[in-house]
Chains A and B, each alone.
Chain A
Amino acid sequence: MEMTEEMTIPQVSDETRRKHEQALPMWKIVLTQFAEHKMAVVGAIIIVLFMAIALSAPLIEAVTGLDPDAQNVFNRYQPPFSRAIAGQDVRETTVEKFIHDKPEVSQALETALISQGLVSSQAPADALFELTAKPVPEALKILEQVGTAEAASLKKAFQAFESYHIFGTDELGRDVFIRLIYGTRISMSVGVLVAIVSALVGLLIGAVAGFYGGAVDTLLMRVTDALISLPLLPVMIVIAAIDMQKLPALKALVSTQNESIFKMVLILCLFSWMTVARLVRGSILSLREREFILASKTLGATDFTIIFRHMFPNVIAPMLVSITLGVGESILFEAALSFLGLGIQPPTPSWGNMLFNAQELIYQAPFLAILPGVMILLTVISFNYLGDGLQDAVDPKAIRR
């Protein structure tokens, strides 16, 4: 906008002239181009939002006081927008911890409770536990009656027993909202990690094949083609079904706890580098004969320098597009494998395994199945639009000036 205005001014100062004559930097062109693709912008915003949510999951947990693992088994399958009171076992644990952490405070409180006759038990040790057995509002009222500072501190703990569940609760009475947020964290990081790792693998393989050509190229591209044409899911199921700890090479890397996530990333990486490899190989093949590469060769640059210094900058843009599209695809595959029960194992929440858990009670608690699906759909569609927008933006053919 600004530019066109300036153009209309007949008298141009030296400064504006310089500015005008200066070529527009590449990233600016790309950005303006990208901004024209409205859906891509929306997609980018959604992705940034989800990433922010994923990163701040512990913060959200702290603010809302919701714990993705906190169970409340007497309040299972609560509909959205409902309230629930923590179970007695949780209340007892809290009181126990309170006594453990603040022995003096609790002692004072115990004597106060007994002396005022607010509890029926005589032993000081039981006084606080008796409160946990009462309905929470009643216990709060008693604490109010005591009125001391000690009582106030315990009251705070008691107030936290009542929780509000905006998306309801799941099969163990856990809050669906906070689990979705943690699921975002897992699903997003699996998606992003897989896309980046597979892009790097693809880059390496594509570069080697394209740069060296000949037999290396033929071999690598045969493998790539074979893998591309494989029906992915059956292969992934086979790999997902084997016990990773049986493979000695991986044993050190894998602990029981992170096994399923590690396995997931590994499996997805194994089968998603091929597109990038082809793409990189194509670009490098065309770059190989260009003058600037020949020039650096004559100047004695090593293969490594040529590939990394001179060729990579030229393939980064299309790779970025491919990574973006890859994230969406990986999220879908993660969900599919988890849906088949082969993905991320409970209790770690991921969108896929939340869906897996929900499908059984689809009629009783449809929300449980619909929400993670909507999250997947939203995220994947955003990544796809983002990729599309980026493609338009970096593709010189598509630039409309």
Chain B
Amino acid sequence: MNKTLKLGLAAALAVSVLANCTKKEAVAPAGGEPSTTAAATNSTKNAELKIGISQEFENLNPLIMSMSASSYMYRMVGRTLVSLDADGKWFTQLAKSIPSLDNGSAKIVEVGGKKKIIATWDLLDNAKWNDGTPITCADFAFALKVAAAPTVSVGEKETFTQVEKIEADAANPKKCTFTYEKAKWDFYALAQFYPLPKHLEEPVFNKYGKEKEGYEKNSNYTKNPTMKGLYNGPYAITEVKLGDHVTFEPNTDFYGPQPKIQKIIVKLIPNTGTMEANLRSGTIDMIGTLGLSLDEALAFDKKVKAENLPYEVTFTPSITYEHIDLNLDNPILKDLKVRKALITGLNREDLVKALFEGKQEAAIHNLSPKDPWFTRDPKEVTLYPYSKREAGKLLDEAGWKMGSDGYRMKDGKKLSLVFMTTAGNKTRELVQVYLQDQYKQLGIEIVTKNEPARVFFGETTRKRKYGAMAMFAWVSSPENSPRSTFHSSSIPNEKNGWSGQNFMNWSNKDNDKLMEELDVEFDAKKRLDLIHKITKHYTDDVPVLPLYYRSDVSVVPKNLKNYRPTGHQFAETNDVEKWDLGGSTLN
């Protein structure tokens, strides 16, 4: 799984799942209308939940969608083979169990000198689409076919194409054999490999798949999003109004326990400033993790406490890593001493204390403390405690002497760096101006320039047009190989069509080798050793200035039970069926 570039405004994705694993036992399909179920098992409190979010969402075709808000919602209606829970553990959804080399359900084979993995995934017997059609291997194979089509623009294409082919057992259409292109240890991490209902989508694909954007335009998810059979999660979509709201109602064909809340509406309130007014006036009942900025959450938290409001403001540390990529093409930044001065002169502790009231943690490298791979052992990684004097000394050594105007000079040139980030993201703009002031005290002039996210990520970062510094975040899952951002083959350039996510132009041959080893290392202990070596290179070379790990914030009604924000890529809506407003003891 490669890291996801955040194109939206901000806010991390999150997922959640209860500590006890999901129930896979068959649940008797509830008969009749959802409303009768409601009357029978739930109190009226569970009638409806309106969730406010501030990020835009798109058409909910699981392959095409790429926005955080879309996948936040899609988790309520569509499930995958496996997913990651709030504790960072893998658990099964549509699959019966996770294949592994140990029990023989997966094995490494060699084809033409290349190591591959063949794994067997058994699908739940009662997993079906919401028109009653069983989910089979064919649905996964069809998704792969669509994703691989050159005319279809798939957000996470690599998630799909890492699987070479999918075959069903001749006797059992629910027993699938996946052949993976490479023998990677985390081959089972297929949390974004969504199946598509072949019986509904194949006719569309056959008819329009060859036109550019033909499938996207004509897919049932686009033309008729409330059609029965498109979804397999605890809920099904009953109304979509793009740019406004989506309505969800329980799916009686869901393989797991029936959800308690009888209707969920996710409402888009793009102006976060009015989010609170909407909450107070009852337009919405809660604010999801894609709702408030941290600043607003901090302010609202104080108010909740002061006025004793019936809400709880949650702050969940996430593994979303806010950082500044340094452009190593920049002649000033080519000097390691300057990079070290930049990181030593960066008071991250004060930053998180002052701007985030300590609710977000300062970062020391790309791995968050929530990641099992995390280490702050000075023997494993190089740490740069804040010291202005030390930073000044490093700059002096690099030849940048303090001038009379308060800025450092070398060979008649001012120490001036262009610092860019996404325009309109308040927190980033705040941090940017804060850092500008910090570096000014070190004698470094920071020139700020911001661009809308699409431009910033669509062109500026990839083509390294950001001058010296680019601030943004990586969203990923725990134990994720940093290869897509650290490996020298991921450096975007003219030749590879500017693809790849190593925006720093950081190239370290030793590190490349370590990362290649990491991918195919099946021993967890050895992996840990490798990742620490990689992180050591990362902290020694300083191609990136770590800033902080973001926290996910949400505001939930006090009576909402079993709500667990996850702090990673897979949102808390992963266990939406357990959410309970009624305080009933049925659970």
Contacts and interface: CB of A to CB of B under 8 A. Distances in A.
A229 to B, nearest CB: 28
B388 interface: yes
A252 to B, nearest CB: 17
Contacts of B273: 359-362
Nearest to A259: B449
Interface string A353-392: 0000101111110000000000000000000000000000
B354 A347 contact: no
Interface string B430-448: 1001101110010000011
A171 B449 contact: no
A364 B447 contact: no
A362 B272 CA distance: 10
A357 B426 contact: yes
A362 B350 CA distance: 26
A243 B450 CA distance: 11
Contacts of A23: none
Nearest to A71: B437
Contact of A89 (B271, B277, B299, B438): B438
Interface in A94-139: 100
B27 interface: no
Interface size class of A (residues with CB under 8 A): 20 to 34
Summarize B's interface: helix, strand, loop or mixed.
helix
Interface in B345-366: 347, 350, 353-355
A93 interface: yes
B438 A256 contact: no
Given A71-B437, A74-B354, A347 B276 contact: no
A360 B426 contact: yes
Contacts of A363: 276-277, 299, 303
A241 interface: yes
A243 B272 CA distance: 27
A360 B447 contact: no
Contact of A346 (B272, B347, B402, B429): B429
Interface residues of B, number: 37
A22 B572 CA distance: 87
A346 B437 contact: no
Contacts of A172: 430, 433-434, 437
Given A171-B295, A172-B433, A345 B449 contact: yes
A76 interface: yes
B450 A345 contact: yes
A89 B424 contact: no
Contact of A341 (B276, B353, B355, B424): B424
A69 interface: yes
A360 B388 contact: no
B296 A92 contact: no
Contacts of B452: 241
Contacts of A89: 347, 350, 388, 438, 441
B101 interface: no
A73 interface: yes
B55 interface: no
B423 interface: yes
Interface string A55-74: 00000000000000111011
B430 A256 contact: no
A89 B391 CA distance: 14
A357 B423 CA distance: 12
Interface in A185-226: none
A286 interface: no
Contacts of B109: none
A347 B449 contact: no
A302 interface: no
Contacts of B271: 359
B30 interface: no
Interface string B117-145: 00000000000000000000000000000
B520 to A, nearest CB: 43
